[in-house]
Structure 1
Amino acid sequence: MAENKEKENIENKEEQVEETSSETTEEQTEETQEEVSETDKLAQELAEMKNKYLRLYSEFDNFRKRTAKEKVDLTKTASEKVLSAIIPTIDDLERAIANTKSENEEVKPVLDGVVMIKDKMLKTLEGQGLKQMEDATGKELNTDFHDAITQIPAPTEEFKDKIVDVVEKGYTLNDKVIRYAKVVVGQ
């Protein structure tokens, strides 16, 4: 019987060791899982923060580029109002030149002076980026550059659906249209 008791004690001790080791293993597993889940949470938070940082950086970079572009555009077209106000004066000079009869010798010096003033004024304005659009007579209507003010019957078949006359010349400032050419289109 003493042997049986010893066997039972040994078996009880083995069971206790097994229970203790299984409890320890379970605790270690739970702790490891908690550490892993906490690590995963931290990794996820880090990824979210990196994503937010990249988005914010990209947004700021886009803002900086957009602002720089707007500044360049503003400096290019800052004089638009002044130049738009001067354009009718050029039109008046061109009308004066067209309506002056050069047959009269007394008027010829005045006409030459007006032509020189107009040319000098155009040259000065071209230095500021203002350009006259080329004559569009006989070309297709392009609404990006032309404003059709009326339609008339085409004088010949080649002017059908094309520009017959330019009433007012158009102007661009650094490739931006500041006044559309007013044209007459043939039907």
Structure 2
Amino acid sequence: MKSVLRVYEEAILDGDEKTTSDIEAMLCLIENEKNELVEKVSAISVEISSGKEKYIRLQADFDNFRKRSEKKRLTVRSDAQGEVLESLLPMVDNFERAKQQLKLETELEKKIDASYQGIYKQFVEIMRSLNVAVVATIGKPFDPSLHEAIAREESQEFKEGIITKELRRGFLLGTRLLRPAMVKVSAGPGKKKSSKATQESNEQPATVARGDER
């Protein structure tokens, strides 16, 4: 390019219009080619930038898809486990009833109880390994999301709203409720009779008796 410019200067100084015109035409052609190359480079840069953005979006979409798939897989697995465990819960009830009803008087009854307890222990260990937990009841505040109240009763031992008795165990699978616990809930100590009312109650039979004597 330097040599071309040097020839161009000499042609101008010598008044060589043809050489000057040819060089100017060549320089114009070079300038046009340069501009075309700049436009192509700019277009390629835009395509590369757009390609990077598309790649980032595709990668984000894939990560979201992977997370959704994993969450769905865990949900399906949890639902399947829940259904199986729910179908086994009546077995727990049967073991509990058998334990309460069986009277250990003979050696045979003791052997049967030991067999029952061994099987029940294995079953409990399996449930524990599957992240199954028992819903806490007696002495705990009543929680409608965990407990099913079938009765309210006065209690001198527990405050109002505290569970006094468990009638059927409840179970959790992780944070999911498999079955609510069936319970009785304290209604508080109740209203105590006043001493005056008690005295009137005690005196009433004597008054009636005196009336009968008449």
TM-score calculated relative to the size of structure 1: 0.63
Secondary structure of the structure 1 residue equivalent to 2:137: coil
Secondary structure of the structure 2 residue equivalent to 1:160: coil
User: Corresponding residue for 2:5?
Assistant: none
Q: Which runs of 5+ in 1 are unaligned?
A: 1-9
Comparing 37-46 and 152-161, the one that deviates more: 152-161
User: Corresponding residue for 1:55?
Assistant: 57
User: Corresponding residue for 2:194?
Assistant: none
- CA deviations on 1:146-175 (whole Å, 9 max, x unpaired) are 133346255248432222332321123456
Comparing 165-174 and 47-56, the one that deviates more: 165-174
User: Corresponding residue for 1:148?
Assistant: 148
2:177 and 2:113 map into 1 onto residues whose CA distance is 27
2:68 and 2:58 map into 1 onto residues whose CA distance is 15
1:85 and 1:115 map into 2 onto residues whose CA distance is 25
- CA deviations on 1:99-149 (whole Å, 9 max, x unpaired) are x374x836x8547735741552342343252644154211123455x1333
User: Corresponding residue for 1:6?
Assistant: none
Secondary structure of the structure 1 residue equivalent to 2:182: strand
User: Corresponding residue for 2:169?
Assistant: 169
**Aligned alpha-carbon RMSD (Å):** 4.0
User: Corresponding residue for 1:3?
Assistant: none
1:82 and 1:111 map into 2 onto residues whose CA distance is 31
Q: Residue 20 of structure 1: CA displacement?
A: 7.5
Residue type of the alignment partner of 1:126: E
Aligned pair count? 173
Matches within 5 A, 1:1-187: 28-68=30-70, 70-71=72-73, 74-75=76-77, 78-98=80-100, 100=101, 102=103, 105=105, 109-110=108-109, 113-114=112-113, 116-118=115-117, 120-128=119-127, 129=130, 131-133=132-134, 135-143=136-144, 146-150=146-150, 152-156=152-156, 158-173=158-173, 176-187=176-187
| Greater Rg by CA | 2
Distance 1:185 1:22, change over 3 A: farther
Q: Residue 91 of structure 1: CA displacement?
A: 0.9
Q: Which runs of 5+ in 2 are unaligned?
A: 1-11, 188-214
1:159 and 1:116 map into 2 onto residues whose CA distance is 40
Say whether the 8 Å CA contact 1:94–1:118 is kept in structure 2. no
1:19 and 1:168 map into 2 onto residues whose CA distance is 106
Distance 1:178 1:43, change over 3 A: same
Q: Determine which structure has greater relative contact order: mean sequence separation of CA pairs < 8 Å that are 6+ residues apart, divided by chain length.
A: 1
Distance 1:111 1:67, change over 3 A: farther
Secondary structure of the structure 1 residue equivalent to 2:140: coil
Say whether the 8 Å CA contact 1:76–1:174 is kept in structure 2. no
Q: Residue 73 of structure 1: CA displacement?
A: 5.8
Residue type of the alignment partner of 1:172: L
Q: Residue 43 of structure 1: CA displacement?
A: 1.0
Say whether the 8 Å CA contact 1:133–1:172 is kept in structure 2. yes
Residue type of the alignment partner of 1:171: F
